[in-house]
Structure 1
Amino acid sequence: MTALHDMTAGELLANYKAKKLSPVEAVDAVIAHIEKWEPRLKALYAPDFEGARKAAKASEQRWQAGKPQGSLDGVPITIKENIATKGVPVPLGTAATDLVPATDDAPAAARVREAGAVILAKTTMPDYGMLSSGRSSFHPLTRNPWNLAWNPGGSSAGAGAAAAAGYGPLHLGTDIGGSVRLPACWNGIFTLKPSLGRVPVDPPYFGRAIGPMTRTVADSALLMVELSRPDARDHMSLPPAAIDWNAGPLEPKGLKIGLHLDAGSGLPVDAEVKAAVEAAARMFADAGAKVEPVAPFLSPDMLHLQDLFWRVRSWVDFSALSHAKQASVLPFIADWCRGGADVSGATVIKGVANYMAIRAATTRATQPFDYVLSPVSPVPTYRAEWETPTNDVHRPLEHISFTMPYNMSEQPAASINCGYTKEGKPIGLQIAGHRFDDLGVMRLSRWFEQARGPQKAWPQPR
């Protein structure tokens, strides 16, 4: 029998409905499992196990009465700490933040709470979410459960680690350049970075998305049903749409699929990563898809200007801090912010224009295809103590050339495991679609998940 902490959300809900299992049993089992892992993994912030047990008891009573509150009633969930939950401070990963309890749930947190999900804890992130790492000046170092010497990625570091480690089936992360896809890649889980506005965000920003992070595509679909509900606080949100998130797999036969193996900038693709993505592409071709190469479209200048634009944006916030607070920010991030201090107004305008240039180039390159396959990251995971795969503040974005363009173009993009290196490091396949075709990306991911077959057994506490 599957251990309770390893059950999918779908399995838990089926067992609740059949009265073979109660939410109290499930939540207790997940908490017990977390307590074995967490002293070494450090994936959580503000755990509220007492509150979770109370919520599970209330859910149990509803299921016994045959009146569940919503589609996720009694299912354990974690939420990234920058997604506000009422009464919990939002440190944004940095020791420089004043810890003031949030007055309300952010839209995503409100939707899952309304659906009856049991919130176990928040999850960790690096300073201001501007690292693909588990490093933070506020949180302890978050590690990768596959090997504690490895990095979980970021900025949804704790969410990725928690999903792979079995901290329940459902987790929420955020993504502005790869922050759900990179942890999904390096932890061997599934995620969807939705089209901009598909999931309401407060506050919204260019390219910022909230996505589900789960072990299975089906569990992410269950979350998307709730996350995609409207919320007026997001002035960039899409209009409500009737989407059958639980639709079955999309067969590749007859599809035109692009294979993107050279981003045009950033780190070169590791040989083992390239081989795994090529093997995945052959599976699509063998199933009847027409697979053709996608030419590089993100130049080194585009990547540099995007880095500069984000540095200036962060410098504005960083420079407003007192000297004492500035000193408490992670040194790597502080140095990165200072790189935006003396940028001219003309260069900032070039950065804004570059945003639009990346958007146009991504759309133009992917438009001829139904879907595009690529690596999520050009390299496997790296040392837990490093801030980025280069560990160089002058080259901080070299690993996001495959992910960041889809934030700028607002297109949906998923990460799904497609293999492992000889060392056992997970490798992520990115599946991207046209803007608004979130369902198609999910359905094609379902097909690949089935065609790929079972993954390695999930890591266990040690």
Structure 2
Amino acid sequence: MHKSAAQDAVTPLHDLSAVDLLAGYRSKQFSPSEVLDDVLKHVAAWEPHIKALYAFDPEGARAVAKASTERWQNGAPAGSLDGVPVTIKENIATKGVPMPLGAASNTLVPATVDAPPAARLREAGAIIFSKTTMPDYGMLSSGLSSFHSLTRNPWDLSKNPGGSSSGAGAAGAAGYGPLHLGTDIGGSVRLPACWCGLVALKPSLGRVPIDPPYVGRVAGPMTRIVDDTALMMGVLSKPDRRDGMSLPAHDINWKALEKSPRKMRIGLMLDLGVGQKLEKEVRDISIKAAKAFESAGAVVTEVDGVLTREMLDGLDNFWRARMWDDLSKLAPEQRAKALPYIYKWAEAGAKLSGVDVVRGFNATMAIRAAAAKLFTDLDYVISPVSPVVNFPAEFAAPLNDPEKPFEHICYTVPWNMSENPAASINGGYDKHGFPIGVQIIGRRFDDLGVLGMAKAFEGLRAAQKPWPKPPKK
């Protein structure tokens, strides 16, 4: 147990933020090896219950921690994350580790190189001690997978952690160290962050180079505090020529998070008119967040959503066809190993016409135009992340219906297609103490501003509940 630089209470090493760990290394209060040992001990207590990890490598991590400890002893850290434990979502390539993409239908082939986000974290000295689980092909907001064990939510083991960065969300809430890396194409870092009480940033498209790049696909940090998300962004946003959609090199000062909401024009987006009905407890938390910003001097107005039924159905058609394209290349017996929910959903893609699929893809352009129009008069938008507080661990999605797979992503998916930065941050809790996230969305490329507003909200929101503890045996 060590005293955190930022807190009065004595905090276990595994619960310290990355910012506090680095301060502790600098002042020689503790070493990376001690921190990793504490994280691994904590993982051993939690992992049988939540099953968040894949390709867990404690011995490899101990060797990296030992080298980091020696560098800190010599006053020569290798980078801005030297000695900080981190997990990486299974679908971000790390050299030598196969990527099943959560699906038993995939052939396991070790990756030959680190993908850009993994390469940046390793270069910065982070200790990658494990990958984290995901559902089949990342196409579910769930901890359910045909390859991995069922991943559960540490706040309530009967509930889903969300997805597709399911293991990352569960690991973050359980305290598997401070930094976790996920990916997001429709809400996949923000939804698990919402249901696990974390901070997550879906950056502007191209801000974090990724391989393979795709429409709306980003990698983003999942942490417990905004400062740690910003710390990760300083590393992840460095350029990489492998991503032909990445943004030019920049000189963003990711530590410059002090931002006053005063006179900011904020839109409050509540009832969308599409998707699952917004639950009252979620609605109340979003309104409370808007009022907190208003009390800090922001000008808040209620705004309509940008998504229509036609757009959502178009995305569904486009993604079904894309998924079926992948599955159709597999031998029938291999294809049959995919999660039945995913198979049934994707199979409908085979019956779509070329015009149906193009019309579906064009929904991305329509969403982009609607978002641009919305932000002509606004600086930021506040909304729920998910329309529902939670759902059962065993479900593939809140409705658990492959005919209606995306009714719960209507608050998150528009910002992938429009390329706007969007953060999830815990806004409060339901009557049982389960976390409920709030989403803060900014104009394209204003990633730093979104984090600045999230940081301001950390100071405006009510006191946070203690993080969940492992069940007693």
Q: Which residue of 2 aligns with 1:351?
A: 360
In structure 1, distance between residues paired with 2:310 and 2:50: 37
Q: Which residue of 2 aligns with 1:61?
A: 70
Q: Which residue of 1 aligns with 2:43?
A: 34
Which of 121, 125, 133 lines up with 1:124 in the alignment? 133
Q: Does 1:290 align with 2:320?
A: no
CA contact (8 A) 2:257 2:451 kept: no
Task: Write out per-residue CA displacement over residues 67-117 of structure 1, whole angstroms, 9 at most, x where no aligned residue.
Answer: 000000000000000000000001100011111110000000000000000
Match runs of 1:4-153 below 5 Å: 4-153=13-162
Q: Does 1:201 align with 2:204?
A: no
Q: Does 1:445 align with 2:454?
A: yes
The secondary structure found in structure 2 opposite 1:328 is coil
The secondary structure found in structure 1 opposite 2:383 is strand
Q: Which residue of 2 aligns with 1:390?
A: 399
Task: Write out per-residue CA displacement over residues 397-441 of structure 1, whole angstroms, 9 at most, x where no aligned residue.
Answer: 000111000000000000000011112221110000000000000
Which of 147, 154, 157 lines up with 2:163 in the alignment? 154
Give, as a single letter, the amino acid of the residue that structure 1 aligns with 2:93.
Answer: A
In structure 2, distance between residues paired with 1:297 and 1:48: 44
The secondary structure found in structure 2 opposite 1:340 is helix
CA contact (8 A) 2:257 2:448 kept: no
CA contact (8 A) 2:94 2:115 kept: yes
Shift of 1:362: 1.9
CA contact (8 A) 1:84 1:90 kept: yes
Shift of 1:453: 4.4
Task: Write out per-residue CA displacement over residues 174-206 of structure 1, whole angstroms, 9 at most, x where no aligned residue.
Answer: 000000000000000001000000000001000
Return 272-281 or 355-364, whichever deviates more: 355-364
Q: Which residue of 1 aligns with 2:184?
A: 175
Return 19-28 or 359-368, whichever deviates more: 359-368
Q: Does 1:370 align with 2:414?
A: no
The secondary structure found in structure 2 opposite 1:428 is strand
In structure 2, distance between residues paired with 1:266 and 1:210: 25
Shift of 1:263: 2.0
Which of 378, 388, 411 lines up with 1:379 in the alignment? 388
CA contact (8 A) 1:174 1:208 kept: yes
Give, as a single letter, the amino acid of the residue that structure 2 aligns with 1:440.
Answer: G
In structure 1, distance between residues paired with 2:462 and 2:429: 14
Which of 283, 287, 303 lines up with 1:278 in the alignment? 287
In structure 2, distance between residues paired with 1:350 and 1:277: 33
Q: Which residue of 2 aligns with 1:211?
A: 220
CA contact (8 A) 1:229 1:240 kept: yes
CA contact (8 A) 2:293 2:460 kept: no
Q: Which residue of 1 aligns with 2:310?
A: 301
Task: Write out per-residue CA displacement over residues 52-74 of structure 1, whole angstroms, 9 at most, x where no aligned residue.
Answer: 00000000000000000000000
* Aligned residue pair count: 462
Structure 2: gaps spanning 5 or more residues: 1-9
Structure 1: gaps spanning 5 or more residues: none
CA contact (8 A) 2:81 2:121 kept: yes
Q: Which residue of 2 aligns with 1:323?
A: 332
Give, as a single letter, the amino acid of the residue that structure 1 aligns with 2:468.
Answer: P
Q: Please, what is the CA RMSD of the aligned residues?
A: 0.7
In structure 1, distance between residues paired with 2:409 and 2:107: 30
In structure 2, distance between residues paired with 1:225 and 1:53: 25
Give, as a single letter, the amino acid of the residue that structure 2 aligns with 1:368.
Answer: D
Which of 255, 258, 262 lines up with 1:246 in the alignment? 255
Give, as a single letter, the amino acid of the residue that structure 2 aligns with 1:394.
Answer: E
